[in-house]
Structure 1
């Protein structure tokens, strides 16, 4: 076995399917299947099982997966140290981030990039996901983090995490409006009686909220449409209405006692974060390194509790990558 086979195997297990791994790795699906068959023949045992829920490892496959991840992590760490010492990795990498992601990811990512790749110029561009996707299509950015999956000619995405959404409002309450009930979580029926400030129709977050409520035939009381997360928080702070945003987007205000929040739904109301990239144009080593570093930073933020989210199985493809809100 070689490193390439280990990378392919790890990606297949993490993605949960050959087709998803093929997209993430930018490798033809039949080639992945052939590599697994060759590995199984070499080891004399089955490594993977196909189930209705996706790919699962056999006991032998789990041993290989755990050890392969450790080997690959050590190899990548060694390679980064050597490349950083040699100072060979250079160039500009442009990454597009929605505002709610940028406020938690940008600084840690920039600091790590400066430490590991001092000759790489990282350019962070912030906008709503729809604009970011257009930038990716137009080749104005190299990597994108988005709230919607993308699978179209020239652009692919893969899931990395699911972040929780919450209802939040001013700690002092809103004049003339009953405070939401004090429960472990609010139902969609509870939301129907609450005046809300949300992005306008067509915005990714608004679409997600509308779809969730439409399942129960619930109508929202939207009093203001605002297409800016910062402005939404300002309006809430002034007591105009409540709103729904990722927990991380209002964590600082909640900690400071300005806002209070309520969980929504059981299971929790959440949305998925994707990394998207354009797969039909050349990808430089610097771009691939920054994308890998972005995934690592995301994982560390979640595991440390700084990002209230759940890592998605398959969040670490082994080759190039970089999708709406």
Structure 2
């Protein structure tokens, strides 16, 4: 098994065609076919099914391609770290960002890293907290923002900020940022909610139990953007972090107010692997991400957020 074979199976899996993969790899088609067949013979299993629609991964192929991507990624990282650049931090760093933080943090983080550490290559991944935690545990992320998580045996969680959850409604509802809305009042309206099992939904469900109310959930979705679209379409109210709706409120497309009775907060932490060597590039990016979060809070660009002190992550 060699690097050329791994590149071949990953590329074919991504494009679904040996011909197209050969073009991308700057090889002739028989060479790519030979690399795949040689690897299949070595492993004793078929990695692809040859169909009229193209190359489709088998079960064994799916496992192999997943591992091959990680192996190639690690080799690329190693190459970047050991390439001699006197006095400079170099390397590839994969960062996970919560969907609600993208507009606030992504561009400032990229700009700051490019300015202070031009030898560091950033890869930004976005998803919900549960997915990001899984990717961190699997080794696909070097660091990530997560929420409502304490340190675990596999990762360290550094508390960064606590953020209030808001009731979100059409502009005609007239919700105001200076007038908190009791959960009981929000529950009187049809609600567009995150799907069950989603970390944000778990926070809301816990608050519902404390308030002793019932929710009229008309739609469930795993997309914050879709939650807002359905509110705009008049399908109901929803609950979102203040950061996710700040611009919409400013533009007057929706109205929103902090939830109260009980107040509902999420705690955002920086998650990093607990074990293993931390490359210098990962360390400087982590420091820069923390700085950008702190700046956003102190400059008032993160609505209803409070900076956390170092220590165990506080649960909402």
CA distance in 1, matches of 2:136, 2:178: 42
Cα contact 1:161–1:310 (8 A) shared by 2: yes
CA distance in 1, matches of 2:99, 2:289: 16
Aligned pairs for 1:188-227 (under 5 A) are 188-227=183-222
Structure 2 residue 126 is the aligned partner of structure 1 residue 130:
no
Offset of residue 240 of structure 1: 1.0
* Residue 226 (structure 2) aligned to one of 216, 222, 231: 231
CA distance in 2, matches of 1:86, 1:237: 54
Cα contact 1:93–1:121 (8 A) shared by 2: yes
Aligned length: 227
CA distance in 1, matches of 2:281, 2:229: 38
Pair 166,117 (structure 1): closer, same or farther in 2 beyond 3 Å: same
Cα contact 1:196–1:243 (8 A) shared by 2: yes
Residue 264 of structure 1: aligned partner: 259
User: 1:218 is paired with a residue of what secondary structure?
Assistant: coil
Gaps of 5+ in 2: 1-84
Cα contact 1:156–1:276 (8 A) shared by 2: yes
Gaps of 5+ in 1: 1-84, 174-178, 318-325
RMSD (CA atoms): 2.2
CA distance in 1, matches of 2:245, 2:126: 18
Residue 248 of structure 1: aligned partner: 243
Residue 95 of structure 1: aligned partner: 95
Cα contact 1:87–1:118 (8 A) shared by 2: no
Structure number with greater Rg is 2
Residue 141 of structure 1: aligned partner: 141
Q: Deviations over 1:151-198 (max 9, x none)?
A: 32221212110012111112135xxxxx77998212122122121111
Residue 276 of structure 2: aligned partner: 281
Structure 2 residue 307 is the aligned partner of structure 1 residue 311:
yes
TM-score (norm 2): 0.68
User: 1:219 is paired with a residue of what secondary structure?
Assistant: coil
Cα contact 2:95–2:142 (8 A) shared by 1: yes
Q: Deviations over 1:260-290 (max 9, x none)?
A: 1122116743211011111212110010111
Residue 120 of structure 1: aligned partner: 120
Larger RCO, structure (CA 8 Å, separation 6 or more): 1
Aligned pairs for 1:140-159 (under 5 A) are 140-159=140-159
CA distance in 1, matches of 2:140, 2:95: 9
TM-score (norm 1): 0.66
